[in-house]
Amino acid sequence: MNSTPTISLLIATYNWPAALELCLRSVIQQQVLPAEVVIADDGSGEETRLLIEKYRPLIPVPLQHIWHADDGFRLGMIRNKAMAAAKGDYLIQIDGDLILHPLFVKDHMEAARKGYFIGGSRAMITEEFSNEVLANKQLLFSFFEQGIRNRFNALHIPALARLVEVFKKEKGLFNLRGCNMSFWKKDIIAVNGYNEAISGWGREDTELVIRLYNLGIKRVFFKLQGIVYHLYHKEFDRSRLLKNDEVMELTMQQKLTRCDKGIDQYL
């Protein structure tokens, strides 16, 4: 990376203010802060709005709250609106049920490079431990902490990650997690953001990444850095998954680089 880009941190949320509070507190504790925080709110109620207003003066960077009315799971749409509103050159995207390692933003910033996007991973917290974390408002975790699954995803050794990247190129699709990704805003605009033909849970991130690949954007190997801890919640309704698979398959077969209904509606 030749120069330090301006960073917008996008946080997607929906009606879980207790989790969002821990997420925002972990943002405040970042060693390197983004230039702004943009909350992509998929129709949360008054409790979430009040929480955001409470934290607005506590977060030492500007905070935008992008909201639309609750009309079912419209994550791609609200992310498009938030990305359109974001002022940064580079967009880091997370979910509001994550607690960020203090070096999370710094890791993404240092790994960013032209012509690439980042797809990170997450350390999963068990249901029982998530309840304790929420009750105690815990923000920091040991690698050996009880209640963390897939513990390797909580190991933070960025120097080793950069060494491993020399030998391993990341090309995967189905291990992508939209809750821990980052991209250049110009690349997102080039592929027209999230495809709003996808509705309900599933495949919105994968289909977006297929278009980035089709445009020639590559993926950074991003293990051992960009650590996030994912609070337990019940699975979303997956009834739209087969329909969304059809949209994704069409994008692959036709090697599409843009979707018809995307971020350009909000620019």
Q: Angle of helix 104-111 relative to helix 158-165, nearest 10 degrees?
A: 30
The mean pLDDT values, 10 residues at a time, for the chain of 267 residues are 82 98 98 98 98 97 98 95 98 98 97 94 95 96 90 90 69 72 98 94 90 95 93 80 90 97 98
Cβ partners under 8 Å of residue 199, min gap 6: 72, 73, 74, 76, 240, 243, 244
From 245, 241, 223, select the one nearest 163 (Cα to Cα): 223
* Other beta carbons within 10 Å of 18: 13
Q: What is the pLDDT of residue 161?
A: 79
Q: Give the CA distances from residue 171 to residues 168, 190, 197, 210, in Å, rounded to whole numbers and listed in that order.
A: 9, 20, 25, 10
3 state DSSP class of 12:
strand
Distance CA 79, CA 75 (A): 6
5, 89 contact by CB (below 8 A)? yes
From 258, 263, 169, 168, select the one nearest 214 (Cα to Cα): 258
45, 15 contact by CB (below 8 A)? yes
* Other beta carbons within 10 Å of 135: 9
Q: Which amino acid is at 157?
A: I
Total length of the chain: 267
Q: Give me the helices (H) in 116-157, please.
A: 127-136
68-111 pLDDT, tens digit per residue, is: 999 999 999 999 999 999 999 999 999 999 999 999 999 999 99
Long-range own/partner contacts, residues 237-241 (CB < 8 A, 24 or more apart):
237/73, 237/200, 237/201, 238/200, 238/201, 238/202, 239/200, 240/198, 240/199, 240/200, 240/201, 240/202, 241/200, 241/201, 241/202, 241/203
Domain covering 7-260: architecture: Alpha-Beta Complex (3.90)
Q: What is the pLDDT of residue 173?
A: 61
From 89, 7, 87, 74, select the one nearest 41 (Cα to Cα): 74
Q: What is the pLDDT of residue 168?
A: 65
11-41 pLDDT, tens digit per residue, is: 999 999 999 999 999 999 999 999 999 999 9
Q: What is the pLDDT of residue 65?
A: 98
198, 204 contact by CB (below 8 A)? yes
From 42, 48, 39, 57, select the one nearest 19 (Cα to Cα): 48
Q: What is the pLDDT of residue 174?
A: 56
Q: What Rg do the C-alpha atoms of the chain give, in angstroms?
A: 17
Q: What is the pLDDT of residue 2?
A: 47
Residue ranges of the domains in the chain?
7-260
